[in-house]
Structure 1
Amino acid sequence: MTVTSEAAGESPYSVVAIIALYNGAEFIERSIRTVLSQTRKPDEFIVVDDGSTDGGAAIVERLAEEHSSIRLLKKENGGQSSARNFAVAHSTSRLIALLDQDDGWYPNHIEELIKPFEAGDRFKLGWVYSDLDECDRFGRVRNRCMLQMLPQEHPKTQLARCLSEDMFILPSASLIAREAFEDVGRFDERLSGYEDDDLFIRLFYAGWDNVFLPKSLSYWCIYTGSTSYSPRMARSRMIYFEKLYNDFDNSDMPLMPQWKTIIAQRFYMTVFGELQRAAMLRDRALYDRSVADLQHIIPFLPQGMQRRARIRLRALRSFERSQFLERIGVFRIMRAGWRMVLRLR
């Protein structure tokens, strides 16, 4: 008689580890080795080369010769969402473990995240995620248990809060049920930034439950050159803003906080923060993009706020002159800007 892994006491849940690679030669060996060092090995391990030109794929090929568990797939560049979807489509495991090319897992990452799935006491468990450590580009720790330092809600229980703030569910810190992932239509390939928030809010809205583990099982490298600060992220943010605004409407419930208002205010504040950062860095390209994005968002604000927002934006346009920036000083600009934000709120 053949004994199945479940009957033998092993987990019935298989796991695929996925890394999307795009010009990440500097990081890819480090991230791959954190997968190889797992105490609970993934059943599949896929790296997708999304059209890299920096030699990163050659590093993966070398490591694959040493470790037969690594499978390298190649495709034309289509962005991280496309690469992740491509990898999932070429896998069969029940659970999906994503890892960004510049991040890493601690050895017990999979072992701990899989436990709530194996417990089987949650109806429609869609994903499990953990806290994480914030590191620099070299993996040196800046902050332990970063999520517990932030005001976001964990685990996610309120849609209004999911709409009003960034989700702060990092794919590198998550384990996602394939059934849930397929149910909501995978990653939106138009997004190359905010695709994570978009996926998890759709999972939540579709009724999939989530579990949060308040301990760091991975690390997130954040630095000036990371995708969090790229022009592609800024473009994706505006696509995501319009998608949220169009998809979420509770105007038939007038006594509740209105989702469209919450969404417009959230993105107004986010882009205003980018404007502050552009002023501090004296980054003209970022400044111009932030101004354009604010002009796009303002018409979505409640009528009573639009006029005040336009007045304040016209005032901020005076900051475009570099000699004015030199004369008044960056910190006075930031202070004046935050006063405007507080008045607007």
Structure 2
Amino acid sequence: PSAALVARHAFLAVGGFDERLSGYEDDDLFLRLLCAGFHSLHVEEPTVLRRSHAEAASRSIRMERSLMIYARKLLAVFPDRPQEGRFPSRDLIAPRFCRTLLARWAMAERAGNREAAALARAGLRELLPHLGPHRRRIGAVILHIASMPVVGGACLRAAHGLRQHVRRTSRP
């Protein structure tokens, strides 16, 4: 929310930031504001410069945990409703977070960060049941590869391949 201005009454009406989140707290706040009927304006010009580096908060273990807290929250608030032909969890939420987890897993493997890699794999396992059958099978193959003793390059290549496939198949 570096460049966001939110009216105090709107912020308080939706309960402010979810303090369990350290990352995705802005997505969560803005979605709750939208769902509560508050409107937003968008300014086209950039108002903030962002610098990315290896020690950034967006690459922390805390951010990894926050990602799954937010994913679970969205899955609970927007469940699939097959009787209405609506599948937000299957078609939007789970694929979005799986793509992010695959990218984070690949980065963690490259960096040798076992804890972050394990969190990403656990998140993928948890989200797998929410995917459609085809994506679920591909994800299961990737997770199986991760459990093999020689993970290294095979794991990264598989994660990258699935990420590319999910990108291609999820575009309208």
> TM-score category by the smaller chain?
0.7 to 0.9
Alignment partners' CA distance in 1, 2:42 and 2:111: 36
Amino acid in structure 1 at the alignment position of 2:104 = E
What is the aligned counterpart of 2:88 among 259, 262, 265?
259
Alignment partners' CA distance in 1, 2:63 and 2:55: 12
The corresponding residue for 1:248 is 78
Amino acid in structure 1 at the alignment position of 2:119 = R
The corresponding residue for 1:339 is 161
Are residues 250 and 177 of structure 1, via their aligned partners in 2, closer, same or farther at CA, if it must alter by over 3 Å? farther
The corresponding residue for 2:67 is 237
The sequence identity of aligned pairs, in percent, is 33
What is the aligned counterpart of 1:268 among 98, 115, 119?
98
Unmatched tracts of structure 2, length 5 or more: none
Are residues 204 and 288 of structure 1, via their aligned partners in 2, closer, same or farther at CA, if it must alter by over 3 Å? same
Alignment partners' CA distance in 1, 2:47 and 2:121: 38
What is the aligned counterpart of 2:44 among 214, 227, 249?
214
Alignment partners' CA distance in 2, 1:249 and 1:277: 30
For 2:46, what is the secondary structure of its paired residue?
A: strand
Does residue 314 (structure 1) correspond to residue 144 (structure 2)? The answer is: yes
Q: Tell me which protein shows more helix as a share of its residues.
A: 2
Q: CA RMSD in A?
A: 2.2
For 1:174, what is the secondary structure of its paired residue?
A: coil
Amino acid in structure 1 at the alignment position of 2:89 = K
Are residues 216 and 306 of structure 1, via their aligned partners in 2, closer, same or farther at CA, if it must alter by over 3 Å? closer
Superposition TM-score, scaled by structure 1 size:
0.44
The corresponding residue for 1:279 is 109
For 2:50, what is the secondary structure of its paired residue?
A: strand
Alignment partners' CA distance in 1, 2:69 and 2:162: 26
Alignment partners' CA distance in 1, 2:162 and 2:21: 31
Deviations 1:296-319 (Å, cap 9, x if unpaired)? 11122234532332122102333x
Amino acid in structure 2 at the alignment position of 1:235 = R
The corresponding residue for 1:188 is 18
Are residues 312 and 250 of structure 1, via their aligned partners in 2, closer, same or farther at CA, if it must alter by over 3 Å? closer
Query: How far did 1:277 drift?
Result: 0.8
Deviations 1:143-165 (Å, cap 9, x if unpaired)? xxxxxxxxxxxxxxxxxxxxxxx
Alignment partners' CA distance in 1, 2:155 and 2:133: 27
Deviations 1:241-287 (Å, cap 9, x if unpaired)? 01001101462531x5x211110111111101111112222222221
Alignment partners' CA distance in 2, 1:299 and 1:333: 21
- Asked if 1 retains the 8 angstrom alpha-carbon contact of 2:102 and 2:160, the reply is no
Alignment partners' CA distance in 2, 1:297 and 1:245: 9
Alignment partners' CA distance in 2, 1:307 and 1:301: 9
Query: How far did 1:172 drift?
Result: 1.2
Are residues 335 and 184 of structure 1, via their aligned partners in 2, closer, same or farther at CA, if it must alter by over 3 Å? same
Q: How many residues align?
A: 165
Superposition TM-score, scaled by structure 2 size:
0.83
Q: Tell me which protein shows more strand as a share of its residues.
A: 1
Alignment partners' CA distance in 1, 2:78 and 2:19: 20
Unmatched tracts of structure 1, length 5 or more: 1-170
Q: After the TM superposition, which residues 111-260 of structure 1 pair with which residues of structure 2 at under 5 Å, given as runs?
A: 171-249=1-79, 251=81, 252-254=83-85, 258-260=87-89
For 1:235, what is the secondary structure of its paired residue?
A: helix
